[in-house]
Structure 1
Amino acid sequence: MTVSPPETDSPSSAAPRRATMLHRILRRPLGAAALTLLVCLVAAVWAAPLVAPYDPLAQDLQSVFAGPSFQHLLGTDDLGRDVLSRLLYGGQVSFIGVAYAVGVMLLLGVPLGLLAGFVGGRADAVIRSITDIVLAIPNIMALLVVVSTFGQSQAAAMVTLGLLGAPGTVRIVRAATIAVRKDLYVTAARVYGLSTFQTMVRHILPRISGPIIVKASLFAGAALLTESSLAFLGLGVQEPQPTWGGMISSASLYLSDHSWEIVPPGLTIALTVLAFGLVGDALRDARGPVTASKVRRRARPIVDRGTDNTRDLGSENNAPLSPDACLAVRHLTVDFTTPEGRRTVVEDVGFEIGYGETVGLVGESGCGKSITGRALLGLLPAGGEVVRGECRFEGKDLFRLGRAEIGRLRGRRIGLIAQEPIASLDPNFTVGNQIAQVLRRHDKMTRRAAKARVVELLRQVEMPDPEGVARKYPHQLSGGMAQRVSIAGSLAAEPALLIADEPTTALDVTVQAEILKLLRRIQQDTGMAILLITHDWGVVADMCSRAIVMYAGQVVESSEVRTVFREPRHPYTNGLLLSNPHGAQKGLPLPAIAGTVPAPENWPTGCRFHPRCHMSTADCAAGRIPLLEPSAGHRTRCIHHEDLKREAILR
């Protein structure tokens, strides 16, 4: 086996040791101090029966209001009870109350926020409506009602506080989820067939843990203040049982003459609240900031809105769906909802791919190639939906499947190689872990069997040191290695169809050749069909048997690759071929097509290419151009295709 030079330049298989969370926190002085204080305080409180010098209820009327001394380190109160002992036992009540409130807040707020942000739609609308209603309820009034109803129960009050605090958490988690769900590795997880629950828990939740930690720490401080306030008012745990708020209430009666008594509980509450906040900040910083891709949008399920009989369809789209094709698409039309209204971005696209065949989808950026591929997977960005079309795959119309059904096909029967392999890998997990979760999702393997299969897959894609690579994190991989890992993940469940979206764009020439060779070999071994989305004619010539050329959301030409290269029948195809660097002549400038692909709202009438076409006439803008078939299997959307043929002959 030979390994291309770029692969050998990858990082060493010996992964550097990653600093633990505790180490990263301890490097921050304030965080370390706050964590130390909090740990010591919690430990002392829970060990109160062992470390408290006196019974918290024991009275010594001979020593009332005694100041700090060796006998009573923090003095005594108005009944001669030891302040330190009462402080330790009172902390148990306070921390239990905080645990109730924070636990309820997280158990409700985090799942609902994830669901609203990731699933969206009706679930998002219902959850937001409920949170708005709860946020309108005054907290103190609700707490007073609960306390009076449940007999001054501290547990009931703190559970209610958690319920009242959950809507704020829902909003924070929802906002963070909406940002993170745009990342490619989240889309990749859905492509691999992971369920909504698995995607949220494994890939979304770790990524948004920073805001959740900060919210929980701040809420813990607020809960402690609320519990102390209720105890100060005599609501909740009653005297003589010690509570921090109750100790402040008792000390406030004698504040003018004996001010020291209020210092220990007041200072303890203040330091604990401060420690909660500082520890939360340190945990957030130790995990790193939450970031999201700026260009990817959340996927949403596709919707079929029926047919539109007013469209003039070409011969390709009117042809019956072949029962022998792996994938057969007809009349695919995709609309997007924008602030300016609905825009059609892909219109009336149709093609077929046979088993073991590679079909190239070619065109400039903005022509609708990637949107077409994502529509087939049910992974359109937010605002996009399939409004018309039929897509037969293994006897099923993908456009009419529910979210769960198409989710079961993704990853198992349909694979995807993304444009940016590094971005499609979750930085929180090793690559072996990410491939293993696909295997365990679809094949119900044990951990040991999945680990062995991961190494086998990495060896199948000709990865050097597959065992070592499986233990690496995405940032430790070179571009070529990341692409091979992406291919391994796509092939984990042995799909029948592979959608390769610009699989070699970010790679150098040597690695490109290796990846294409690898795809050809795997296709020969498995017989899978490949839809290759690219703008590189060299890749098309090397890999594809047929080419489909798209421009401004339409198929403008399709035929066998050799025919397209030798006899293009559309000026756009001809212009792309002439501007291909692979055919450049030394000493001559490389021809280029004037202008750019228009945005959907600026599509011209008639032929959409005519403003950039040197063969354009008034007829080109007069009306819709049908898809013509000048020869068997060769289709073009150009009324001057014969003139183009004669022009090519004269050249």
Structure 2
Amino acid sequence: MTVSTTSILQHRARPPRRIRGRVFRSPTAIVAIVWLVGLVIASLTGPLWLRYGPLEQDLSAVLQGPSAAHLLGTDELGRDMLSRVVTAAAPTLLVALITPIVAVLITVPITLWAARRARAETVVNRVSEIVLSLPGTVIILAFIAAVGTNMPLVMAAFGVLVFGAMYKVFFGQAKSLHKQLYVEAAAVDGVRPMAASIRHVLPNMSTTVIVQFVLLFGAAIGLQAGLAFIGLGPQPPEPTWGGMIQTASSFIFQQPWLMVPTGAVLALTIIAANALADVLAGGTAMPPPLISIRRKKNRADAAPSTSTIAHVPTEVAASVVASVPAEERELIVEDLVIGVDDGPALVTGVSLRVRPGTVMGLVGESGCGKSVTSYSLLGLLSPGLSVRSGRIAWGGVDLAGAGEKTLAKVRGHEIAYISQEPTRALDPMFTISWQLSAAIKRLRRVSGAEAKRIAAELLTNVGIVDVPRVLKSYPHQISGGMAQRVAIALALAGTPHLLIADEPTTALDVTVQAEILGLLRRLIAERGMSIILVTHDLGVVADLCDEVSVMYAGQIVETGPVRDVLLQPEHPYTMALLAADPHAILNFEGTTRLASIPGQVPLPGSMTSGCRFVERCRFAQDVCSTTIDLQPRAEGDGAVRCIRRDEVRGRQDEWREPITIGEER
């Protein structure tokens, strides 16, 4: 029941695929790319289609406006402006590429090196600060005085000078990625540090690197134009955008039009570069909803939802959520399908129903889709994941199709989230008081003084004794159990009606676990909240939950009231989990042996069309390859996804015997 390092690495994100999808789905990105590439192609092929050469003079047609003979007019020597603007494009854009190439080639290797070595980090940090403090403009001018107006060398020097700023952008992300589990797993497998950085860290930094590359490309174009404008670029008569703008400024009163062609092309080029960077960063150039609904035909895992709640416009949805009485709020999840963009489905056909004032337990091994499902309820899926179909009904609104404005009305106000690691919810840079007060002011719209009073009250409610000391403390100054209590208080800052608790007791010792569970039980009784409890601990489920849903490989395999499911399990996977729990409430007669489930949860994309537990189930037969939906349980309420449920019912004690997989086939 453990996850190998190989499977961890196989689950690693693939940013390049996400980037390609984001670019090709964005009209803004396509237009920007067409403009930049088109300029270069037009410039390089100019002699084949331009009517005039860029240096060809006609003193009888000086400072003319647009005409049939000269589409963009002429300059002070009668030279065709279209020819000069187009001819200058390729040298400008191609030379501008030198700056980001040099900057990335210098910064990325140094950043990866510094992020994994403490001594190197100290040295490189000092060097980057020195580079940042240098007067860049003065150095560029001095460099030009030394080497002349050699634009490729000047652009290379500019790339070196931006090392400090780019290092600051890259270092924080690289440092964080080096601490990720899949990087540590690579080290355990014997991968050398630099190889691990290149193989696992750099791909996850690719979006940031590409965005900075494109932004720096636009800055280099502007720098070239500025230097040419003050006479430090390529010298006349060679056409340059900055030189043409400088000339146009000298004749601004005689012929104002002369400024328009070059100025417009320069502005559009820089805008195109910045717009492309914005799309690559996932910004406002292509504003997708945080969770997108995708309907794909001929895909069993993405069948159209049979939702009965219509998709409501964002503005209307926000008011609908706010107007529904708290006692009528019920979470209904139906046929939820979550998948990787252009990849396999991670969660398929999940349905949940959480009534007001009840606790729903969501259990299963790691990798079964519990956390992904809980993230989707608030629109918190990681980049690259999306809801393909299904509905998430809350207060009359389908949150799966809601926009960011509606989700912002729900998060914290209506539905709150508690992470299994409280340190993820607490910023180490700020005190507990500041973080709680900021959340309260934002969610409850109260004054600073009132927010501090409520913060102290919340800490008291979650069982913290020395409230004044904790309020003044930073997260690293309090214990893990106290940090979890603070995280719960933070989740209660907006008086939510539904609390999603993702393994809130995993990192705590037994005594503190009992205290946190008692706290959650009291919150349910006092506030009438409903809770979705994601956990591995069946003892916690038995103690706290009203209903339980067992997940395996992205599906719900059994669901029902806690007493029915835990006392009379009907799915072999539920039986195996109970048999593997040393604190199980079942009485397995004649043995004290704990069950061991061989194998591991199948990876997304490798799941069978029939029962997904078939490769690990001791009761599996050929008939189990048949696709089956959830069927009503024979004993008690709920449903079970097993075609042999009538035959295997009551045989849970066999899981504690030595296992031979497929022995019944």
Q: TM-score, normalised by structure 1?
A: 0.57
Partner of 2:458: 457
CA distance in 2, matches of 1:411, 1:558: 28
| CA–CA distance in structure 1, aligned partners of residues 642 and 165 of structure 2 | 64
Query: Do the aligned partners of 2:433 and 2:471 also contact (CA within 8 Å) in 1?
Result: yes
Question: Equivalents in 2 of 1:569, 1:325: separation in Å?
Answer: 31
Instruction: Tell me, in whole angstroms, the C-alpha distance in 2 between the residues paired with 1:516 and 1:123.
Output: 51
Structure 2 CA distance for partners of 1:229 and 1:642, relative to 1, 3 Å: closer
**Equivalent AA in structure 2 for residue 644 of structure 1:** V
Letter in structure 1 aligned against 2:640: T
Question: Aligned partners of 1:295, 1:280: CA distance in 2, in Å?
Answer: 28
The one-letter amino acid of 1:557's match is E
Secondary structure of residue in 2 paired with 1:492? helix
Deviation at 1:456? 1.4
Residue in structure 2 matched with residue 530 of structure 1 by the alignment: 531
- The change in CA–CA distance for 1:397 and 1:519 in structure 2 (over 3 A counts) is same
Deviation at 1:615, TM superposition (A): 1.1
SS of the aligned residue for 1:483 comes to helix
| Residue 433 of structure 2 is aligned to residue 409 of structure 1 | no
Q: Is the 2:575–2:652 contact (alpha carbons within 8 Å) kept by the matching residues of 1? A: no
RMSD of Structure 2 on Structure 1 (CA): 5.0
Displacement of 1:467 in angstroms is: 1.8
Partner of 2:383: 382
Q: Counterpart of 1:306 in structure 2: which amino acid?
A: R
Amino acid aligned to 1:598: P
1:294 has 2:208 as partner = no
Check whether the contact 1:213–1:280 (CA below 8 A) recurs between aligned residues. Answer: no
In the other structure, the counterpart of 1:552 is: 553
Structure 2 CA distance for aligned equivalents of residues 507 and 608 of structure 1: 32
Counterpart for residue 155 of structure 2: none
- What letter corresponds to residue 502 of structure 2 in structure 1? D
Pick closer, same or farther for the CA change 1:124–1:381 going to 2, 3 Å. farther
Residue aligned with 1:559, SS:
strand
1:637 aligns with 2:637: no
Q: What's the CA shift string for 1:442-478, capped at 9, x where partnerless?
A: 2232222222221111111111212211222221121
- Cα distance between partner residues in 2 of 1:389 and 1:213: 53
CA 1:212 to 1:522, structure 2 compared with 1: closer, same or farther past 3 Å?
farther
Letter in 2 for 1:590: L
The code of the aligned residue for 1:432 comes to S
Superposition map of 1:482-501 within 5 A? 482-501=483-502
User: Do 2:338 and 2:389's aligned partners in 1 also have CA atoms closer than 8 Å?
Assistant: yes
Q: Please, which of 293, 300, 325 is the counterpart of residue 304 of structure 1?
A: 293
**In structure 2, what residue type is equivalent to 1:329?**
V
Three-state SS of the structure 2 residue aligned to 1:346 is: strand
Contact kept, 8 Å, 1:326 with 1:496, in 2: the verdict is: no
Aligned to 2:241: none
Compute the displacement of 1:601 (Å): 2.1
CA distance in 2, matches of 1:290, 1:131: 36
* Native 8 Å contact 2:420 2:502 kept in 1: yes
Structure 1 segments unaligned to the other structure (5+ residues): 1-115, 137-148, 150-163, 180-209, 236-273
Match of 2:435 in 1: 434
Deviation per residue, 1:606-634 (Å, 9 max, x gap): 1111111111111001x211211134522
* 1:366 aligned partner, one-letter code: G
Can you list the C-alpha shifts for 1:234-292, whole angstroms capped at 9, x where unaligned?
99xxxxxxxxxxxxxxxxxxxxxxxxxxxxxxxxxxxxxx9x999999999x9999535
- Counterpart mapping for 1:264-413 below 5 A: 291-292=176-177, 294=180, 301-306=290-295, 311=300, 324=328, 326-337=330-341, 342-413=343-414
* Secondary structure, counterpart of 1:610 in structure 2: coil
**Is 1:329–1:390's contact at 8 Å kept on the other side of the alignment?**
yes
Partner of 1:504: 505
Q: Distance in 2 between matches of 1:479 and 1:124?
A: 47
How many Å separate the matches in 2 of 1:479 and 1:529?
25
Contact 2:302 2:337 in 1 (8 A): no
Partner of 2:51: none
Mapping for residues 208-223 of structure 1, pairs under 5 Å: 214=128, 217-218=131-132, 220-223=134-137
The one of 600, 614, 621 aligned to 1:617: 621
Q: Residues 556, 281 of structure 1: CA spacing in aligned structure 2 closer, same or farther, 3 A cutoff? A: closer
In the alignment, residue 600 of structure 2 is paired with which amino acid? T
2:109 matched to 1:224?
no
**Cα distance between partner residues in 1 of 2:142 and 2:551:** 68
Identical counterparts, % of pairs: 36
Change (3 A) 1:282 1:417: closer
Instruction: Select which of 578, 582, 594 maps to 1:590.
Output: 594
CA contact (8 A) 2:443 2:493 kept: no
**Equivalent pairs, count:** 436
Distance 1:608 1:281, change over 3 A: closer
- Aligned mates of 2:365, 2:443 — CA distance in 1: 36
Measured against aligned partners, the alpha-carbon deviations of 1:372-399 in whole angstroms (never above 9, x if no partner) come to 0011111111211100001111111001
**1:402, 1:211 → 2: CA distance?**
41
Within-5 A mapping of 1:135-174 = none
Instruction: Check the 8 A contact 1:570/1:637 in 2, yes or no.
Output: yes
- Residues 307 and 389 in structure 1, CA contact (< 8 A), matched pair in contact too: no
Q: Counterpart of 2:578 in 1: which secondary structure? A: helix
Distance 1:467 1:231 in 2: 63
Work out whether 1:469 is the aligned partner of 2:462: no
Give 3-state SS (helix, strand or coil) of 1:361's partner.
Answer: strand
Query: In structure 1, what is the equivalent of residue 607 of structure 2?
Result: 603
Distance change >3 Å, CA 642–CA 448, structure 1 → 2: same
Change in CA separation of 1:313 and 1:558 when aligned onto 2, cut-off 3 Å: farther
Shift of the alpha carbon at 1:130?
Answer: 11
Contact 2:301 2:349 in 1 (8 A): no
Match of 1:626 among 609, 625, 629: 629
- Residue 227 of structure 1, CA deviation: 4.7
1:224-263 residue pairs with structure 2 within 5 A? 224-228=138-142
Q: Secondary structure at the match of 2:336?
A: strand
Q: Structure 1's 226 and 385: CA in aligned 2 closer, same or farther, altered over 3 A? A: same
| 1:76-115 correspondence runs (5 A) | none
Change (3 A) 1:646 1:510: closer
Q: Which amino acid aligns with 2:571?
A: H
Q: Per chain length, whose mean CA-contact separation is higher, i.e. which structure has more relative contact order (CA < 8 Å, sep 6+)?
A: 1
Taking structure 2 as the reference length, the TM-score comes to 0.56
What whole-Å deviation, never above 9, does each CA across 1:310-367 have from its counterpart, x for those lacking one? Answer: 75999xx98978x955200001001113xxx511110000010011100000100111
Whole-Å separation in 1 of the counterparts to 2:370 and 2:166? 44
User: Whole-Å Cα distance in 1 between the matches of residues 458 and 469 of structure 2?
Assistant: 13
TM-superposition CA deviations, 1:165-201 (whole Å, max 9, x none): 9x969x99xx99xx9xxxxxxxxxxxxxxxxxxxxxx
d(CA) in 2 for partners of 1:123 and 1:437? 38
Separation in 1, partners of 2:392, 2:628: 24
What is the DSSP-based 3-state SS (H/G/I as helix, E as strand, rest coil) of the residue aligned with 1:591?
A: coil
Contact 1:355 1:529 in 2 (8 A): yes
Match in the other structure for 1:571: 572
2: CA distance, partners of 1:228 / 1:630: 82
- Deviation at residue 122 of structure 1 after TM alignment: 5.2
Q: What corresponds to 2:562 in structure 1? A: 561
Instruction: Measure, in 1, the Cα distance between the counterparts of 2:386 and 2:571.
Output: 29
2:370 and 2:521 mapped to 1: Cα distance? 22
Q: Which stretches in structure 2 are left out of the alignment for 5+ residues?
A: 1-18, 41-75, 77-95, 112-123, 150-159, 183-203, 208-281, 283-288, 310-326, 656-665
Give the Cα–Cα distance (whole angstroms) in 2 for the partners of residues 295 and 130 of structure 1. Answer: 40
1:385 and 1:306 mapped to 2: Cα distance? 11
Q: Aligned to 2:500, what secondary structure does the other structure show?
A: strand
**Bigger Rg, which one:** 1
> For the residues of structure 2 that align with 1:526 and 1:642, how far apart are their CA atoms?
41
